[in-house]
Structure 1
Amino acid sequence: MTDAVPPLRHNRDFLLLWSGTAVSILGSRASGMAYPLLVLSLTGSVVAAGLVGFVTMLPHLLVQVPAGMLVDLWNRKRVMIWCDVLRALTIASIVVALAADRLFLPHILLAGIIEGTLSVAHGIAGSAAVPHVVHSSQLTVALSRNEARERGAMMLGQPLGGLLFGIGRVVPFLFDALTYLVSLATLLLIKRDFQVARTGERKRMRTELTAGIRWLARQPFLRTTTILVAGSNLLFQALFLTVIVIAADLGATPGAIGLMFGIAAVGGVLGSLVAPAAERRLSMKVVVIGVNWVWAALVPLVLVVRDPYLLGAVYALMCFVGPVWNVVVSAYQLAVTPDRIQGRVIGAASTVAFGAIPLGSLVGGLLLGWLGTRPTVWVLTIFMVSIAMVATVNRAVRAAPTLGGQEPRAVNTEFVAQ
Structure 2
Amino acid sequence: MSSLWRNRDFTLLWSGQVISSLGAAISATATPLLVLAETGSPLDAGLVGAAGTLPHLIANLPAGPLVDRWNRRLILLISELVAAIALLSVPLAIWSGVFTVAQLCVVAFVQGLCFVFFGLAQDAALPMVVPSAQLADAIAANEARSRGATLAGPPIGGFLFGLDRAAPFLVDGISYLVAAVGLLFLRRDLQKPPEGPTEPLWRAAVTGIRYVWSQPLIRVSMLLIAASNFVFQALILVLVVLAERQGGSPADIGLMLGLYSAGGLAGAFVAGRLHRSLSFRTVLIGINWVWAILLPLNLLTTNTLQLGALGALSAFVGPLWNVVVFTYAGRVVPNELLGRVMSAAGTLTWGVMPLASLSAGLLLTWIGPKGSIWSLSAIMLGAAIAATLSPSVRHAPNLDPVEEPAPAA
TM range (shorter): over 0.9
1:117 aligns with 2:117: no
Measured in 1, the distance between the counterparts of 2:51 and 2:230 equals 19
Measured in 1, the distance between the counterparts of 2:228 and 2:50 equals 21
Moved more, 26-35 or 354-363: 354-363
> For the Cα contact (< 8 Å) 1:285–1:397, is it kept in 2?
yes
Residue 414 (structure 1) aligns with? 408
Query: Of 128, 135, 150, which aligns to 1:154?
Result: 150
| 3-state DSSP of counterpart to 1:209 | helix
C-alpha distance 82-166 of structure 1, shift in aligned 2 (>3 A): same
Give 1:7-406 correspondences, 5 Å limit.
Answer: 7-198=3-194, 201-202=197-198, 207-404=203-400
Task: Map Cα deviations across residues 114-133 of structure 1 (whole Å, 9 max, x no partner).
Answer: 12111210111111111111
Measured in 2, the distance between the counterparts of 1:61 and 1:198 equals 26
Structure 1 unaligned runs (5+)? Answer: none
C-alpha distance 201-30 of structure 1, shift in aligned 2 (>3 A): farther
| 3-state DSSP of counterpart to 1:375 | helix
> For the Cα contact (< 8 Å) 1:31–1:176, is it kept in 2?
yes
Q: Residue type matched to 1:145 in 2?
A: A
Structure 2 unaligned runs (5+)? Answer: none
C-alpha distance 392-8 of structure 1, shift in aligned 2 (>3 A): same
Measured in 1, the distance between the counterparts of 2:81 and 2:369 equals 45
* Deviation for aligned residue 1:372: 2.8
Measured in 2, the distance between the counterparts of 1:214 and 1:374 equals 40
Measured in 2, the distance between the counterparts of 1:89 and 1:349 equals 29
C-alpha distance 234-106 of structure 1, shift in aligned 2 (>3 A): same
Q: Residue type matched to 2:187 in 1?
A: K
Measured in 2, the distance between the counterparts of 1:6 and 1:206 equals 41
> For the Cα contact (< 8 Å) 1:132–1:411, is it kept in 2?
no
C-alpha distance 135-305 of structure 1, shift in aligned 2 (>3 A): same
* Deviation for aligned residue 1:214: 0.9
Moved more, 33-42 or 391-400: 33-42
Measured in 1, the distance between the counterparts of 2:246 and 2:181 equals 47
* Deviation for aligned residue 1:334: 1.0
C-alpha distance 238-205 of structure 1, shift in aligned 2 (>3 A): closer
> For the Cα contact (< 8 Å) 1:71–1:125, is it kept in 2?
yes
Length, aligned pairs only: 409
* Deviation for aligned residue 1:414: 3.0
Moved more, 350-359 or 330-339: 350-359
Q: Residue type matched to 1:135 in 2?
A: P
Measured in 1, the distance between the counterparts of 2:6 and 2:406 equals 16
| 3-state DSSP of counterpart to 1:6 | coil
* Deviation for aligned residue 1:336: 0.9
Measured in 2, the distance between the counterparts of 1:37 and 1:210 equals 40
> For the Cα contact (< 8 Å) 1:20–1:184, is it kept in 2?
yes
* Deviation for aligned residue 1:411: 8.8
Measured in 2, the distance between the counterparts of 1:105 and 1:370 equals 29
Moved more, 61-70 or 194-203: 194-203
Q: Residue type matched to 1:269 in 2?
A: L
Measured in 2, the distance between the counterparts of 1:255 and 1:297 equals 28
Task: Map Cα deviations across residues 2-49 of structure 1 (whole Å, 9 max, x no partner).
Answer: xxx210121111111001012111111111121222222222322112
Task: Map Cα deviations across residues 277-316 of structure 1 (whole Å, 9 max, x no partner).
Answer: 2211111110000000001111111112222112101110
Measured in 2, the distance between the counterparts of 1:254 and 1:241 equals 14
Moved more, 54-63 or 39-48: 39-48
> For the Cα contact (< 8 Å) 1:196–1:411, is it kept in 2?
no
C-alpha distance 242-46 of structure 1, shift in aligned 2 (>3 A): closer
TM-score, normalised by the number of residues in structure 1: 0.93
Task: Map Cα deviations across residues 354-381 of structure 1 (whole Å, 9 max, x no partner).
Answer: 1222222222222232223333322322
